[in-house]
Structure 1
Amino acid sequence: MTDNTQGTAAPERLQSGGLVRRFLARDKTPVSVLCLSALVGLAAGLVATLFEIAVHWVSAQRTSWLRDVLSSALPLWLSAFLISAALAWFGYWLVQRFAPEAAGSGIPEIEGAMDDLRPVRWWRVLPVKFIGGLGALGSGMVLGREGPSVQMGGNLGRMVSDLFRLHDHEGQHALLAAGAAGGLAAAFNAPLAGIMFVVEEMRPQFRYSLISIKCVLISAIVANIVFRCIQGQRAVITMPQYAAPDLNTLWLFLLLGMGFGIFGAVFNRLVTLAQDGFARLYRGQRWRPMVVGSLLGGCFGLLLLYLPELTGGGIALIPSATRGDYSTHLLLLLFIGRVVTTLLCFGSGAPGGIFAPMLALGTLFGTAFGVLAQQLFPALALEPGMFAIAGMGALFAATVRAPITGILLVIEMTNNYQLILPLIITTLGATLLAQVLGGKPIYSQLLHRKMRQEKIGQSPRQTVVNT
């Protein structure tokens, strides 16, 4: 009896060992590149998490200086203006003096590098983006830290490949993409969205291969683990957990998505117009962005005192909007106001992103739509917060043209997995209508704009309004 058992177990062990050997023989991925991708994820997660902590620290210090130091010597409004103006000036000065490619979100720069169209000068971009971003975001301007996290993550990927002298071009590309995924995964505490952002939104530049997919997965996982070790495992946005809506209400989510499809196409066009307007204002002179940026920063310092809802990235605004703290009219006014402030800040070339401001815009309009739907159809038992969550994904999908990323991003940020069906319907309607209306995804649009500027003879250092 024992001999028969051992006789059958031996062939099973040999067979399983043969399967492992055959798998390893077929898998041509260098183990060293996978190890480097884990290192990239570790660095991207650490930098993105520290960037978030530093932004909150600068904002708190600004309030402390205003309350304890300057307010005793100067009027409160003047102190607020001067502090924010100084912070913004510092951010613009760093960009204009040392790394013009660090202006804006930086995501188009990474896409251009993945397509071998843009150089990656990580030794100057990393410090300028980190410290300059602290100045711009700390001043209260309507900017997000997620785009900078993606750019810094991509630069860390190139830094690792340079430091370890990785000469394989495919491996370099994979680490660049892995860094971008890790940066977004840590910025939003959303590993699936970080992976899908690279695979879906960067699909024209991303080179699909076994090694690149593995590197992106490993980096996003490691970066998110780093974030959760430091900041905890809670969702980025604290919101109620909604049950799945009734099937007879899904047409309202499609209608909302179509509305965002129209607005998304218009918004992308407005971003280009804003950047063109600031370019004409700057006239290629380096001092002009610093003057204009400091004035903008000072104005947002005043808004922080009297109308804080129009300042900052907007993530903190999302829970209060969905709780019903604002009337429908005020939601629409805040929506219009934040559209204007977003265009002013992002169009000016400040070192900050547009991710978070877009999510806030989606929340404001989605909540207003939900309140109106609740009033018009009281028998449907609608919750406005469900439309706020759907609006976040819809505007992201309409502007970035990455619906799957938008769905995953919103679900992971709010922990509302029951709303996946309405989110799919809303983002699908937004994406399809935005595509019908024409135009490119916002980051591709910004990259093509910059390449077109340089083709007509404008050098990178003269390009003061960067993507």
Structure 2
Amino acid sequence: MQQQRQTTRHDFTRVQAIGFGGLVGIGAGIVVSAFRLSIEQLLKLMQAMYGWLGGHPMWLLPWAILLVLVAIFIGHLVKRTSMIKGSGIPQIEGQLAGELDYPWWPVLWKKFVGGILGIGSGLFLGREGPSIQLGGTVAQGMAERFNFDGRRRRLLIAGGAAAGLSAAFNAPIASTLFILEEVYHSFSTLVWITSLTSAVVADFISSEVFGLTPVLHIAYQHALPLKYYGLLLILGVGLGLLGVVYQWGTLNGGKLYAKLTWLPAHLNGIIPFLLVIPIGLFWPETLGGGNQMIVSFAQHTPLLVPLIGYFVLRLVFSMISYGSGLPGGIFLPILTLGALLGAVGARSFVLLGWLPAAFIANFMIYAMAGYFAGISKAPFTAILLITEMVGSLQHLLPLAVVAIVAYITVDVLGGAPIYEALLEKLVTPADPDAHGLTDRVEYPVGGDSPLVERQVRDIKWPQGALLVGVQRGERQVIPHGDTLLRAGDILIILTYQHNRAYVRQQMRRLDA
């Protein structure tokens, strides 16, 4: 009897994902580390310059003219390439959703140069959103080089985005989760493998440049005793209320500029570039995204009234800076505002006799997570991000309490995820009649979704879309009319490549 030989097939898809993720992490790590280093050096130069100008006021007029010329130059870049405007996270989210696209090289160099000049000049803008776009754009260029399209291209872009945030914050786990939770909205195996690999490699490169000290290394004396947890509920509600205020100001900043100024939209940056001069002269420690300010205030916290003043200053000028359309993000400014609110809350509790002063730094840490969780509607990322950035696991429980309370408060008040809301302002309605190359959309079914326990035949699927698979745990179900959808399912929908945005929009409406 002849023995039949069976050949074993090896699937190298995940190994390839790790390999390409590593390449993307190297490219994004180098670019974003150079971006971050340039901003830090320019910001130090600006702070020293304002110290010198304080003793030589006759040079203020030439300095103002120079800043106006810088603003005009950046405005010219924005006018020529509109996709470098603002944070960059909505642009990457739009690319991954199929709602917009752009050529990679003009965006890469113009975002790099414009971001350094805008953020490094001391405006209240963050480097993290631009870093995510830079990383994603580096990956887009690699995908073009490898002739990748469709899903493989999106995998690289997601990995590049995670690498960009990881290099900016030295937080690879939180960076991966942020891309999965807030940007790509997909937890498929290939996505997280590619993103995590890219993030770890980029973090290694960034750590070689900036060292291993966490970005927001805050020294604290004790873990918060359970008897003070009731104060966390008050803090969370306050963060949620002021989070809605920040959302409204950020989303409507452009409209306010259009009503209040006669400048063309691409030259709105002149206003924050002029307003930053008195800020630099009187409060140079506040310049930039705010990470230096957070660490400094955690060690030597000002009294209550100055803290309120710092918060109002940063809240208003953050909105002015971002609303101008300059290349720069809101990620770090949100964390800075949260830290200030935590200090304000803690100082208030100390004055009332409800909290010992030793726990002020703790409340700053908790409030950063709560404010970001409420505004971005990404609580898991907020908790893990602050844990990695601070460099301690002792805060997980109070971080979770504040993040959940702030999240629920914003949700009850009707606040939308800030990056999704910003994306909606960028894109035009999708075309349901698109045609051409086919692609697939992966859509998760949540536990509270109205799609749960419904048969496939009873659902009015979007035009031009075909449900071809249901990923259920580790196995894939081939659907038919009687198939019942369950919580946790990932729907695999086939459609035209340019119809992805329309299908995703319609699925959100079905899921509402």
| TM-score bin, normalised by smaller chain | 0.7 to 0.9
Paired letter, 1:244: A
- 1:278 partnered with 2:257: yes
Q: Which residue of 2 aligns with 1:7?
A: none
The residue that corresponds to 2:233 in the other structure is 254
CA distance in 2, matches of 1:329, 1:66: 25
Q: Specify whether residues 256 and 106 from structure 1 end up closer, same or farther in structure 2 by C-alpha distance, changes over 3 A only.
A: same
Work out which of the residue numbers 164, 168, 179 in structure 2 matches 1:198: 179
- How far 1:250 moved relative to its partner? 1.1
Deviation at 1:378, TM superposition (A): 5.3
Q: Find the aligned partners of 1:122 and 1:430 in 2 and give their Cα distance.
A: 37
3-state SS, counterpart of residue 394 of structure 2: helix
Q: 2:198 aligns with which of 219, 224, 227?
A: 219
Q: Give the partner amino acid of 1:276.
A: K
Q: Deviations over 1:125-182 (max 9, x none)?
A: 0000000111111221110110000011111111111111124x22111111111111
Match of 1:388 among 356, 364, 367: 364
Question: Which of 24, 38, 44 is equivalent to 1:54?
Answer: 38
Indicate if the aligned counterparts of 2:50 and 2:281 stay in contact, CA closer than 8 A: no
Q: 1:375 to 1:87 in 2, by over 3 A?
A: same
RMSD: 2.6
Instruction: Give the direction of change, closer, same or farther, for the CA distance of 1:60–1:266 in structure 2 (3 Å limit).
Output: closer
- Contact 1:189–1:224 under 8 Å retained in 2: yes
Structure 2 equivalent of residue 185 of structure 1: 166
1:425 corresponding residue in structure 2: 401
In the TM superposition, structure 1's runs of 4+ consecutive aligned residues that sit over 6 Å from their partners are 64-68, 70-74
Q: Does 1:311 pair with 2:287?
A: yes
Deviation at 1:258, TM superposition (A): 1.4
Structure 1 counterpart SS, 2:400? helix
Shift of 1:376: 2.1
Shift of 1:304: 0.6
Deviations 1:194-242 (A, max 9, x none): 011011112xx43432211210111111110111111111111232044
Deviation at residue 381 of structure 1 after TM alignment: 6.7
Letter in 1 for 2:38: A
Tell me how far apart the structure 2 counterparts of residues 61 and 377 of structure 1 sit (CA, whole Å): 42
Contact 1:84–1:301 at 8 Å: present in 2 too? no
User: Partners of 1:354 and 1:342 in 2: how far apart?
Assistant: 8
1:127 maps to 2:106: no
TM value normalised by structure 2: 0.78
Alignment of 1:116-195 (within 5 A): 116-167=98-149, 169-195=150-176
Contact 2:132 2:163 (C-alpha < 8 Å) held by counterparts = yes
- For the 8 Å contact 1:84–1:138, the answer to whether it is kept is no
| Runs of at least 5 residues in structure 1 that lack an aligned partner in the other structure | 1-17, 456-467
Alignment match, 2:343: 367
- Give the drift of 1:74: 7.2
Aligned 8 A contact 1:374 1:382 in 2 = no
Return the offset for 1:73.
9.2
* Match in the other structure for 1:3: none
1:59: how far off? 2.8
CA distance in 2, matches of 1:276, 1:261: 24
Q: Identify if the C-alpha distance between structure 1 residues 166 and 32 changes in structure 2 by more than 3 Å, giving closer, same or farther.
A: farther
Q: Any idea what the Cα deviations from partners look like across 1:10-60, whole Å, max 9, x if unmatched? A: xxxxxxxx9xx97x73x4625434312111111111111110111122234
Q: Which moved more, 1:226-235 or 1:87-96?
A: 87-96
- The aligned residue for residue 320 of structure 1 is 296
Which whole-Å CA distance do the structure 2 matches of 1:133 and 1:282 have between them? 23
Residue matched to 1:104: 86
Taking structure 1 as reference, are residues 241 and 382 closer, same or farther at Cα in structure 2, changes over 3 Å only? closer
Q: Deviations over 1:227-280 (max 9, x none)?
A: 111111111123204432111111111221111111112211121221222244
Q: Kindly provide the amino acid, as one letter, of the partner of residue 234 in structure 1.
A: T
Larger strand proportion of the pair? 2
CA–CA distance in 2 between the matches of 1:192 and 1:405? 9
Letter in 1 for 2:35: F
Are 1:232 and 2:211 matched, yes or no? yes
Shifted more, 292-301 versus 397-406: the winner is: 292-301
For the 8 Å contact 2:78–2:266, the answer to whether it is kept is: no
The question of 1:412 aligning with 2:393 is answered: no
Q: Which of 245, 249, 258 is 2:224 aligned to? A: 245
Tell me which protein shows more helix as a share of its residues: 1
In the alignment, residue 100 of structure 1 is paired with which amino acid? Answer: S
Determine if contact 2:220/2:361 at 8 Å carries over to the other structure.
Answer: no
Task: Please tell me whether the aligned partners of residues 228 and 355 of structure 2 are also in contact (alpha carbons under 8 angstroms).
Answer: no
Aligned residue-pair number: 426
Counterpart residue number, 1:11: none
Q: Secondary structure of the equivalent of 2:389?
A: helix
Kindly report which structure 2 residues correspond to 1:297-308, keeping only aligned pairs within 5 A, or say none: 297-308=273-284
What residue in structure 2 maps to residue 341 of structure 1? 317
1:95 counterpart = 2:71 = no
The residue that corresponds to 1:331 in the other structure is 307
Whole-angstrom CA distance in 2 between matches of 1:65 and 1:386: 34
Indicate the residue corresponding to 1:32 in structure 2. 16
Instruction: Return the offset for 1:298.
Output: 2.4
Q: Distance in 2 between matches of 1:71 and 1:394?
A: 37
Q: 1:326 to 1:74 in 2, by over 3 A?
A: closer
Give the secondary structure class of the aligned counterpart of 1:316: helix
Structure 2: runs of 5 or more not aligned: 1-5, 432-512
- Partner residue in 1 for 2:422: 446
- CA change 1:245–1:232 in 2 (3 A) is same
Contact 1:87–1:138 at 8 Å: present in 2 too?
A: no
1:379 Cα shift? 6.8
Q: What is the aligned partner in structure 2 of residue 41 from structure 1?
A: 25
Match of 2:509 in 1: none
Distance 1:281 1:304, change over 3 A: same
Q: Deviations over 1:370-416 (max 9, x none)?
A: 11212323576751111111111111001001111111111111123
Q: 2:27–2:138: 8 Å Cα contact kept in structure 1?
A: yes
Percent identity of paired positions between Structure 1 and Structure 2: 33
Which residue matches 2:64?
A: 81
Matches of 1:310 and 1:133, distance apart in 2: 18
Report the 3-state secondary structure (helix = DSSP H, G, I; strand = E; otherwise coil) of the residue aligned with 2:291.
coil
Q: Check 1:361–1:63 CA distance in 2 against 1; reply closer, same or farther (3 A cut).
A: closer
| Structure ranking higher on relative contact order (CA contacts 8 Å, 6+ apart) | 1
Say if 2:214 and 2:389, in contact at 8 Å, map to a contact too.
yes
Q: Provide the C-alpha distance between the structure 1 equivalents of 2:261 and 2:356, rounded to a whole number of angstroms.
A: 53
